[in-house]
Chains A and B, each alone.
Chain A
Amino acid sequence: MPVIMLLEILLTLAFGAAAYLYFFRKKEETLPIEDRWWGSGQKPDSEEDATVHPFKVETTDEELNDLFRRLDQARFTEPLEDSCFYYGINSVYLRKVVSYWRNQFNWKKQVEVLNKFPHFKTKIDGINVHFLHVKPPHLPEGHSAKPLLMVHGWPGSFYEFYKVISLLTDPASHGLSDEHIFEVICPSIPGYGFSEAPHKQGFDSVCAASVFYKLMLRLGFHEFYAQGGDWGWLICTNLAQIAPNHVKGLHLNLVSVLNMRFTQLLSILLGRYFPGLFGFQEEDVRRMFPFLKKGLYKMLMESGYAHIQATKPDTVGCGLNDSPVGLAAYILEKFSTWTDPEYRKLEDGGLERKYTLDDLLTNVMIYWVSGCMVSAMRFYKENIGKGIGTQKHDKLPVRVPTGVASFPNEIMHTPRSWAQKKYTNIITFNLMPKGGHFAAFEEPELVAADIQQFVGKVEREECWREMRK
């Protein structure tokens, strides 16, 4: 009968409309992947060589002799009286570091340390990408290794992860629970360390994320975890925005929310007095206020490097590629101040309280022997030069399960309530008891433990399955 037919049609339409709306709403906007060519000159017509070649870090006597000559002829400027680390690195302490570097530091031995993990290179989008691929030495029965991509930042390198990698790939040998064992893929960002630098302009964090995504696919991983701090935070975030179905979980030791919203501004003005209203915990208030001093003023005092690197990287990097002492001064100043801002009051910048000179200098040597400081600095211009908080990826939320380890001496503190505006699926958010910016380097046990508890929660609650619905 016509009425029933009409009803049927209407119902079908209604059902169809509902289904369409349901799927339309559920469809998430992802960040488009970048497919540009970064090699020199024109992209060749032939297909790219996708082989993964093993790689070993090497050194020569010539390289060492050149370094020694430069160290021997270094020209220092006497610091002002009582200036400690307030004017930047203190050259009296720097002389001691250089003397150690010249006479006791053994680069050949450190190269062997670097080579204890397997290194590889593979060409992606025209440039050679360097990475470590560390598999667990022994896997208990029934266990599978979870793939974990770990991305470094500036002025760090893959070397920052050497201690935490051991804890994650071989927890049993370090007296830790082996419930979660990982195989770690740790690349060098193009332009850093042993990864080739892009030859074209415009290589930003989304481009780096695209390259790493292709790398993981090439290695056969379709689902993996990602971890990062400093630039690694942004690159892993972008990766989660590009391929949310492939990133099981995102673990960050730095979170920065750059496009300020009105409520955030309001929370800065009133958060100290009405913390509960803005979702601030006591520790948040302690780390953030007084905001002028701990936020704005501190940012101004400590962001000179970012300002000049985001505008004139080729100029500022020039000297750091020609003077190893200049390079060490520039890098080590960050390892001092970003580990604990109070270290500025110390004549030696407190550097050896948390790190050994061998570790610190190994990281510096990676920049020196690869000559990558200029290209590393260009990353600032490519990312910040277009504007802060205005890029597409700044506005897109992150729906992948996220775990945040918030360290007390991190440069800027981001409370959970702010992070939640962008990372809509925060599974764990832990305020760590100690540690600064270089978390993996300084507090590897804390970072490893936090990754494990985050992954544990994700796997148990199968949060990542929710994502597929």
Chain B
Amino acid sequence: MWQQVLQSVRSFEYPQSAIVVSTALGAGGLLTCWLLSRQKIKTLEVGDGWWGSGERPPKEKEDESIRPFRIETSDREIQDLHERLDRARYTPPLEGAAFQYGFNTTYLRRVVAYWRNQFNWQKQVEILNQYPHFKTTIEGIDIHFIHVKPLHVPRGQIVRPLLMVHGWPGSFFEFYKIIPLLTDPAGHGLNEDVVFEVICPSIPGYGFSEAPHQRGFDTLAAARIFHKLMERLGFKEFYVQGGDWGSQITTNMAQMQAKQVKGLHLNLVFISSSGLGRLVSLILGAYVPWLVGLTREDSHRLFPYLEKNVYEILRESGYLHIQATKPDTAGCGLNDSPVALAAYILEKFSTWTDKSFRDLDDGGLERKFSLDDLLTNVMIYWVTSSIVPSMRFYKENFSTNPTTAPHARVGVYVPTGLAVFPQELTYTPCTWAKKKFKNIVAYTYAPRGGHFAAFEEPKLLAEDIKQLVRKVECL
């Protein structure tokens, strides 16, 4: 049969054979292009946005100035807080409940007594102001950030820019202990081969950043705004670090503009747990972990899957469910009652630091954190009235199916370092993370610590960030 085809082709006149050849080449070319495009690195579309109130002013160029900012307080603000603390109404806990029903009010009364009588907000404001704060307008809203440069730079030392993004219910304040370890390692007895200047913004809607006035402000919008911020500050290349929402935002940044992100460091990994492959991995992994690429450590942390993952997540995700559906209702009372705000936020600092703290009458809060630090974080939400906008972020991000959203399907090609803390809320084995993060250069198991890694174990986290940089730059 082929003989006949060849014969008929050879028998063609020149133009006709040319057509056949060019068609074949064309088809081959298209096939090659298609094959290549499947492997081509896809990036997330950057897009644009406007978050100010009303319509975006046409043609008006945005004020790009970077204005220094100082946190301030007033007697009136403190007095109003004290009045509300004084008239707080509590419900006694059930007998033997510890923290199993949520924040135990017997312990809450002690926290509030400290807050009312010993906590010194004016002193804490001075502590907050120890680093330089700034504000700048991007896409219609004021973005707050701190920018901490090293005090002394040894000769020949490169200072690497590092963007650190917080999450919920945290704030830029979570990084106050880790920042000196990164900008001044020598002063803290650490190796000074890697020194950073740290830029730490507040996510719009959190803390001193203005809240978006329009619907739809998700992690992609935050990522884009932070890219613009770094650009405005003159950085062409930088490292990014994040946990909680910060992890998702910095990942989006790496997906949007990979060239600018030298390295991505995360202490929490978001990947979808769905898909046939994942299911097979779970079913088989309990018995033959090595077959599906799971290590012994993975097995220990993942199984039994129902108890450790499904039930635990159901137990601890009520806040996520209500914030992703009715944030304005959920946050209403919290913005009006400082005691309620403290209970809601501090419950997370207890349970997300160590799940076993649920069995303690005081939620184990003061084992890892000081009341001054915890309350300063709460005060940031209180004085800025940002609890409702901070909760809206959940609705904006969960309104589309997280597993099919564009950024869930785009890979991350930037060199990535993952720090896995034992008490983190969810666990992601390296093999699973690799499906999304194509360039994992470091995957470390921290010996201790929970969700608020920077706040609780700043030294461990700092070391891990530096390790990533060493690997990326082959130091």
Task: Please give the residue numbers on chain A whose beta carbons come within 8 Å of chain B beta carbons, in ascending order.
Answer: 40, 66, 69-70, 73-83, 87-91, 94, 198-201, 300-305, 307-323, 325-327, 329-330, 333, 371, 373-375, 378, 381
The answer on a CB contact under 8 Å between B340 and A322 is yes
Asked, given contacts A74-B336, A318-B103, whether A308 binds B318 with beta carbons under 8 Å apart, the answer is yes
Cβ contacts B200-216/A at 8 Å (1 or 0 each)? 00000000000011110
> How far is B89's CA from A371's CA once the two chains are assembled, in angstroms?
8
The answer on a CB contact under 8 Å between A333 and B337 is no
* Chain B residues, CB < 8 A from A373: 91
The answer on a CB contact under 8 Å between A315 and B347 is yes
Tier of interface size on chain B: 35 or more
Q: Which residues of B386-419 have CB atoms within 8 Å of chain A's CB atoms? A: 387-389, 392, 395
* Chain A residues, CB < 8 A from B315: 311
Stretch of B177-185, B222-230, B323-331, B439-447 that contacts chain A: B323-331
The answer on a CB contact under 8 Å between A314 and B105 is yes
Give, as a whole number of angstroms, the nearest-CB distance from A348 to chain B: 14
User: Residue A375 contacts which of B91, B104, B212, B341 (CB distance < 8 angstroms)?
Assistant: B91
Stretch of B94-102, B114-122, B449-457 that contacts chain A: B94-102
> How far is B106's CA from A318's CA once the two chains are assembled, in angstroms?
12
* Chain B residues, CB < 8 A from A371: 89, 91
The answer on a CB contact under 8 Å between A374 and B326 is no
The answer on a CB contact under 8 Å between A305 and B326 is yes
Most chain B beta carbons < 10 A, residue from A77, A199, A308: A77
Residue of A nearest to B88 (CB): A322
* Chain B residues, CB < 8 A from A318: 90-91, 102-103, 105, 108, 337, 339-340, 343-344
The answer on a CB contact under 8 Å between A314 and B318 is no
Asked, given contacts A304-B318, A314-B91, whether A82 binds B332 with beta carbons under 8 Å apart, the answer is no
List 18 A–B pairs whose Cβ atoms lie within 8 Å, in order of A's numbering: A74-B336, A77-B389, A80-B213, A80-B392, A81-B213, A83-B215, A83-B328, A301-B325, A304-B321, A307-B318, A312-B347, A319-B344, A320-B333, A322-B340, A326-B334, A333-B329, A374-B91, A381-B101
User: Residue B102 contacts which of A66, A78, A307, A316 (CB distance < 8 angstroms)?
Assistant: A316
Asked, given contacts A315-B344, A318-B105, A325-B333, whether A79 binds B91 with beta carbons under 8 Å apart, the answer is no
B93 within 8 A of A: yes
The answer on a CB contact under 8 Å between B328 and A75 is no
Q: Which residues of B292-351 have CB atoms within 8 Å of chain A's CB atoms? A: 314-319, 321-337, 339-341, 343-344, 347
Give, as a whole number of angstroms, the nearest-CB distance from B104 to chain A: 7
> How far is B55's CA from A82's CA once the two chains are assembled, in angstroms?
13
The answer on a CB contact under 8 Å between A322 and B389 is no
* Chain A residues, CB < 8 A from B80: 73
Cβ contacts B70-87/A at 8 Å (1 or 0 each)? 000000000010011001
Residue of B nearest to A316 (CB): B102
Residue of A nearest to B388 (CB): A77
> How far is B331's CA from A89's CA once the two chains are assembled, in angstroms?
10
The answer on a CB contact under 8 Å between B326 and A314 is no
User: Residue B327 contacts which of A69, A87, A199 (CB distance < 8 angstroms)?
Assistant: A87
The answer on a CB contact under 8 Å between A319 and B340 is yes
The answer on a CB contact under 8 Å between A315 and B103 is yes
The answer on a CB contact under 8 Å between A75 and B329 is no
The answer on a CB contact under 8 Å between B385 and A75 is yes
> How far is B324's CA from A199's CA once the two chains are assembled, in angstroms?
32
* Chain B residues, CB < 8 A from A198: 94
The answer on a CB contact under 8 Å between B316 and A311 is yes
The answer on a CB contact under 8 Å between A311 and B318 is yes
> How far is B91's CA from A39's CA once the two chains are assembled, in angstroms?
15
User: Residue B330 contacts which of A79, A88, A200, A313 (CB distance < 8 angstroms)?
Assistant: A88
Asked, given contacts A314-B104, A318-B105, whether A94 binds B332 with beta carbons under 8 Å apart, the answer is yes
B53 within 8 A of A: yes
Residue of B nearest to A317 (CB): B91
* Chain B residues, CB < 8 A from A70: 87, 336
User: Residue B337 contacts which of A94, A302, A322 (CB distance < 8 angstroms)?
Assistant: A322
User: Residue B91 contacts which of A78, A305, A321 (CB distance < 8 angstroms)?
Assistant: A321
* Chain B residues, CB < 8 A from A307: 314, 317-318, 321-322
User: Residue B318 contacts which of A69, A89, A312, A375 (CB distance < 8 angstroms)?
Assistant: A312
The answer on a CB contact under 8 Å between A322 and B321 is no
Asked, given contacts A81-B215, A308-B319, A381-B101, whether A319 binds B325 with beta carbons under 8 Å apart, the answer is no
The answer on a CB contact under 8 Å between B101 and A319 is no
The answer on a CB contact under 8 Å between B317 and A323 is no
* Chain A residues, CB < 8 A from B94: 198-201, 378
Residue of A nearest to B92 (CB): A199
User: Residue A312 contacts which of B88, B91, B101 (CB distance < 8 angstroms)?
Assistant: B101
> How far is B337's CA from A329's CA once the two chains are assembled, in angstroms?
13
* Chain A residues, CB < 8 A from B101: 312-314, 378, 381
* Chain B residues, CB < 8 A from A314: 91, 93, 97, 101-105, 343
> How far is B84's CA from A284's CA once the two chains are assembled, in angstroms?
50
| Contacts between the two chains (Cβ within 8 Å), count | 192
> How far is B318's CA from A309's CA once the two chains are assembled, in angstroms?
8
The answer on a CB contact under 8 Å between A312 and B319 is yes
Residue of A nearest to B341 (CB): A319
> How far is B99's CA from A315's CA once the two chains are assembled, in angstroms?
9
Instruction: Knowing that A88-B326, A304-B326, A314-B97 touch, tell me 7 more A-B residue pairs with CB under 8 angstroms.
Output: A87-B329, A90-B328, A91-B328, A316-B344, A317-B91, A333-B329, A371-B91
> How far is B114's CA from A449's CA once the two chains are assembled, in angstroms?
58
The answer on a CB contact under 8 Å between A81 and B322 is no
Asked, given contacts A80-B215, A318-B105, whether A66 binds B87 with beta carbons under 8 Å apart, the answer is yes
> How far is B326's CA from A333's CA once the two chains are assembled, in angstroms?
9
Give, as a whole number of angstroms, the nearest-CB distance from B200 to chain A: 24
Asked, given contacts A90-B328, A314-B91, A319-B343, whether A75 binds B333 with beta carbons under 8 Å apart, the answer is no
Most chain A beta carbons < 10 A, residue from B104, B212, B334, B389: B334
The answer on a CB contact under 8 Å between B95 and A201 is yes
User: Residue A321 contacts which of B89, B93, B96, B325 (CB distance < 8 angstroms)?
Assistant: B89
> How far is B332's CA from A91's CA once the two chains are assembled, in angstroms?
8
* Chain B residues, CB < 8 A from A80: 212-215, 392
The answer on a CB contact under 8 Å between A81 and B102 is no
> How far is B193's CA from A289's CA once the two chains are assembled, in angstroms?
64
> How far is B204's CA from A11's CA once the two chains are assembled, in angstroms?
87
> How far is B102's CA from A74's CA once the two chains are assembled, in angstroms?
25
The answer on a CB contact under 8 Å between B333 and A329 is yes
> How far is B329's CA from A316's CA once the two chains are assembled, in angstroms?
11
> How far is B57's CA from A136's CA once the two chains are assembled, in angstroms?
68
Most chain B beta carbons < 10 A, residue from A69, A91, A313, A374: A374
Most chain B beta carbons < 10 A, residue from A94, A300, A329: A329
> How far is B322's CA from A254's CA once the two chains are assembled, in angstroms?
23
* Chain A residues, CB < 8 A from B97: 201, 314
User: Residue A304 contacts which of B88, B324, B385 (CB distance < 8 angstroms)?
Assistant: B324
The answer on a CB contact under 8 Å between B329 and A89 is yes
Give, as a whole number of angstroms, the nearest-CB distance from A368 to chain B: 9
The answer on a CB contact under 8 Å between B318 and A79 is no
Most chain B beta carbons < 10 A, residue from A90, A308, A313: A308
Residue of B nearest to A327 (CB): B333
The answer on a CB contact under 8 Å between B89 and A88 is no
Residue of B nearest to A69 (CB): B87
Cβ contacts B40-62/A at 8 Å (1 or 0 each)? 00000000000001100000000
* Chain B residues, CB < 8 A from A73: 80, 83-84
User: Residue B336 contacts which of A88, A312, A316, A325 (CB distance < 8 angstroms)?
Assistant: A325
* Chain A residues, CB < 8 A from B87: 66, 69-70
* Chain A residues, CB < 8 A from B388: 77
Give, as a whole number of angstroms, the nearest-CB distance from A320 to chain B: 5
The answer on a CB contact under 8 Å between A310 and B318 is yes
Q: Which residues of B160-213 have CB atoms within 8 Å of chain A's CB atoms? A: 212-213
The answer on a CB contact under 8 Å between A87 and B326 is yes
Residue of A nearest to B108 (CB): A318
Give, as a whole number of angstroms, the nearest-CB distance from B329 to chain A: 3
Closest 5 CB pairs of A and B: A326-B333, A319-B340, A319-B333, A88-B329, A315-B102
> How far is B318's CA from A310's CA once the two chains are assembled, in angstroms?
8
Give, as a whole number of angstroms, the nearest-CB distance from B295 to chain A: 31
> How far is B80's CA from A198's CA once the two chains are assembled, in angstroms?
34
